[in-house]
Amino acid sequence: MKKKAFLDVSISICPRYKAPYADASWYAISLASNIDCGVCGNSWSPKKSQVDRLLLEFLLDKDGNVIDIKKKQIEDK
């Protein structure tokens, strides 16, 4: 039997530099934490600039090693 692990990911864009960022949704959306752009230093709320959200499903072998990854879009906008 294969095991599964999941990660809810939000994609946002720095409003100033337009650099894309991927963060765990619990951090970026649920907690509404600010993100600091590593390029320009701008701080912004990914909750306000979210462009996509998806659920990553990690298929694991019996030892817990990742053998495959699937994605599913989450519609929460």
Count of domains observed in the chain: 1
Residue 25 per-residue DSSP state: H
pTM for this one? 0.77
For residue 56, what pLDDT is reported? Answer: 97
| pLDDT of amino acid 53 | 93
| pLDDT over 80 (residue 76) | no
In this prediction, residue 1 carries a pLDDT of 66
Q: What is the mean pLDDT of the chain?
A: 90
**Which residues are 69's β-sheet partners?**
58
pLDDT digits (tens, 9 = 90+) for 11-66: 999 999 999 999 999 988 888 889 999 999 999 988 888 889 999 999 999 999 99
* Greater model confidence, 8 or 28: 8
Range of the domain at 43: 3-73
